Structure 1
Amino acid sequence: MSTPRPTATQADRHEALRQEARIWLARLTGGDVRQADVHAFRHWQGTSAAHAEAFNDAKRQWHAMRPAIGELLSTDAGIAARHRRLMHGDADVAQRAPVFAGRRAFLGAGLSAAALAGVAAVYPPFGLWPSAGTWTADYRTATGEQRDIALAGRANVVLNTQTSVSRRTEGLNLITGEVAVDLASSREPFTVVAGAGRSVSDAGRFEVRNLDGRVCVSCLEGTVRVQHPAGERRLVAREQTVYRDDAIGGVAGIEPASVSAWRRGELVFRQTPLVKVIEEINRYRPGRVVLLADARRSEPVSGRFSIAILNEALLQIERSFGLTSRTLPGGLLILS
């Protein structure tokens, strides 16, 4: 006898519980946990057997990641440095030691509490939960998800994978991720705030990508004014600019079909370093791919990959570069 498939409503409820469990785990490993937090968590956990099981699943995933986290600490200098600061000489962490110790006992974690906090604070472990800055977003997409939003007849906005935005009177705040904005002609300009800058347009089509402190604005049709403390850029169709908090670059030409390939369900790379290709695949694929082959990180990759079958793309990459793959629980793939 076949097992009945869960209904859409049941699946949505199950996924919501999983997300809540991951957020609780993030809070309990992120620092400054107070007694009120523990009481609130206990109340949530005791709501039903499904709540308790969702949290147990999140813990099992986290524990299963320990071998890979050890490898990450040994290969990523930035995260390793953060870990060392937490383990030695960080006065703030030292003051919170009793809280960390209690949380370690509470979670039953095999890693040291400082290691948990160090990895989780810099980077949520392999995408198991959203970063703290995205929790207050009005709209958010999960890994591999895209979403259309119509904003009062002024604009149609498409949210790409792993994107979080909040509403503003004049438009949107792009917290992280990537959006495509299609505008009807309007008297009121539409604004996308991202990092230290803002992109303003009256009509046309443009895209904004905000990842790792780097914001890229691409004009596909019409015009876009990119306003930044370091200067302003006016983009017309087929032009792009990039800025960080402290600086803004010049204007460069683009090929719109390549920039917007994600809207067609594709990823397009042209002489892109392998490490950047892996980073981009990680935005769309559940779990995480970790590249440990340092000698291959800068190797160029050119190709067109379907987002729906990224595991085939990874298999092609593995064969092309002579890599060895190892699969761990939670969708974690190690390439070495």
Structure 2
Amino acid sequence: MNAAIDPALIEEAARWFVLLASGEATADDRTACAGWRTADSRHEAAWQHISAATARVSGIPRQHAQASVAALNATGKDQRPGRRRFLAQLGILCAIGIAARQGWRQSDWSADQRTAIGEQRDLTLADGSLLRLDTDTAIDIDFSASARLIRLRRGRIMVATAPAPSPAATRPPFLVETAEGRVEALGTQFVVRQESDSTQVTVVQARVAIHASLAEGAPPILAAGEAARFGRQGIIAREAARPGSSAWIKGILVADDMPLADFVAELARYRSAPLECAPAVRQWRISGTYPLVDTEGALAAIGRILPVRTQPLHPEDPARGTLVVAR
């Protein structure tokens, strides 16, 4: 998805596209659409984006399409009888605009592999490499004679690359691509996490090379026991891997003098309903090991260690989330 295109223009292009494809467009409609496209290069870019996106329309989640149709019906526009039959199509195309506004995250419906919140999954790749997907993770897999590429759309993965079938075997490099660049495996086991504005890498065995998308020069190399966070320009921070940073692979959260806010935020990734930390206790520290598969048990455990308790985030509706507060 081209992030440079204004989502409002994508939605406008979607309306023009469906109108012209509906069989209901008049000569004046077609002239007006042509005028709109030529009036601004950004309009034409939006039109081309929608033209390409229609090939993927059938996979857009039903709830997105239904929400778009409902919104369109509420406007009272395009309600002439001859056009009602393609309102659903229009809603689906406008859902593309909604996805554009919400970014890469909302495109996960088309990912090759996904995990639900609270789920972890193991995969064996075509070359024998092992992959573990953490909670709420989405990836694409591009394996062929010329590529071994994992695109991490969101979430966190652990990669354990398989050795070459023979010492003389030549294979394409094993790469994990994120929004900020690529991580190249150098015979290794490592963890990659896509954060909101950066990529976090932790090396468990051997080494990796960090190829930030806009960086120049030789890529920095991380060795076993090192971790780094990088953006498109290069490495932002580099340090020794924190104790237990890869324990999530075994379903465990290891806290080593961790701020309670960070602890709660990590648990929240494994819960469908929101989990938040009250400002008064955010900087309290906690240590220990806690189960990620039983977040309620983990919350009960910290209540035995620290003077905290849980309460509904919205008292009028306890199902809408949980807040950790001081006792």
Between the aligned partners of 1:176 and 1:30, the Cα distance in structure 2 is 25
Distance 1:258 1:279, change over 3 A: same
Between the aligned partners of 1:145 and 1:222, the Cα distance in structure 2 is 28
Tell me the equivalent position of 1:307. Answer: 292
Task: Determine which of 104, 121, 126 is the counterpart of 1:152.
Answer: 126
Task: Determine which of 138, 155, 159 is the counterpart of 1:177.
Answer: 155
Tell me the equivalent position of 2:29. Answer: none
Task: Determine which of 222, 236, 239 is the counterpart of 1:249.
Answer: 236
Between the aligned partners of 2:69 and 2:236, the Cα distance in structure 1 is 37
Tell me the equivalent position of 1:84. Answer: none
Please tell me the residue identity of whatever aligns with 1:297.
R
Between the aligned partners of 2:71 and 2:233, the Cα distance in structure 1 is 33
Tell me the equivalent position of 2:265. Answer: 279
Deviation string 1:81-123 (CA, Å, 9 cap, x unpaired) is: xxxxxxxxxxxxxxxxxx9xxxxxxxxxxxxxxxxx9xxx769
What secondary structure is seen at the aligned counterpart in 2 of 1:258? coil
Tell me the equivalent position of 2:25. Answer: none
Between the aligned partners of 1:31 and 1:252, the Cα distance in structure 2 is 50
List alignment gaps of at least 5 residues for structure 1. 1-21, 45-98, 100-116, 124-129
Please tell me the residue identity of whatever aligns with 1:233.
P
CA shift for structure 1 position 164: 0.3
Aligned-pair identity (%): 25
Distance 1:276 1:26, change over 3 A: farther
Instruction: Tell me if the contact between 1:157 and 1:181 (Cα under 8 Å) persists in the aligned partners.
Output: yes
Tell me the equivalent position of 1:87. Answer: none
Instruction: Tell me if the contact between 2:189 and 2:205 (Cα under 8 Å) persists in the aligned partners.
Output: yes
Instruction: Tell me if the contact between 1:160 and 1:177 (Cα under 8 Å) persists in the aligned partners.
Output: yes
Question: In the alignment, is residue 237 of structure 1 matched against residue 224 of structure 2?
Answer: yes
CA shift for structure 1 position 38: 5.6
- What's the C-alpha RMSD, in Å, of the aligned pairs? 3.6
Deviation string 1:160-218 (CA, Å, 9 cap, x unpaired) is: 11110012232100011111111122332200001121111141211101122221111
Distance 1:200 1:37, change over 3 A: farther
Between the aligned partners of 1:193 and 1:37, the Cα distance in structure 2 is 38
Please tell me the residue identity of whatever aligns with 1:139.
Q
Give the greater-gyration-radius structure (CA): 2
Tell me the equivalent position of 2:113. Answer: 139
Distance 1:202 1:246, change over 3 A: closer
Between the aligned partners of 2:62 and 2:85, the Cα distance in structure 1 is 13
Distance 1:331 1:27, change over 3 A: same
Between the aligned partners of 1:28 and 1:272, the Cα distance in structure 2 is 43
Between the aligned partners of 1:215 and 1:25, the Cα distance in structure 2 is 30
Please tell me the residue identity of whatever aligns with 2:184.
V
| TM-score (normalizing by structure 2) | 0.62
Deviation string 1:56-83 (CA, Å, 9 cap, x unpaired) is: xxxxxxxxxxxxxxxxxxxxxxxxxxxx
Distance 1:25 1:210, change over 3 A: same
Please tell me the residue identity of whatever aligns with 1:155.
S
Please tell me the residue identity of whatever aligns with 2:210.
V
Matches within 5 A, 1:257-272: 258-272=244-258
Task: Determine which of 252, 265, 282 is the counterpart of 1:297.
Answer: 282
Between the aligned partners of 1:244 and 1:32, the Cα distance in structure 2 is 39
Matches within 5 A, 1:6-45: 23-26=61-64, 39=88
Please tell me the residue identity of whatever aligns with 2:183.
S
Distance 1:278 1:24, change over 3 A: farther
What secondary structure is seen at the aligned counterpart in 2 of 1:145? coil
Please tell me the residue identity of whatever aligns with 1:252.
E
Q: Which has the higher contact order (CA 8 A, sep 6+)?
A: 1
Instruction: Tell me if the contact between 1:206 and 1:217 (Cα under 8 Å) persists in the aligned partners.
Output: yes
CA shift for structure 1 position 335: 3.2
Instruction: Tell me if the contact between 1:216 and 1:241 (Cα under 8 Å) persists in the aligned partners.
Output: yes
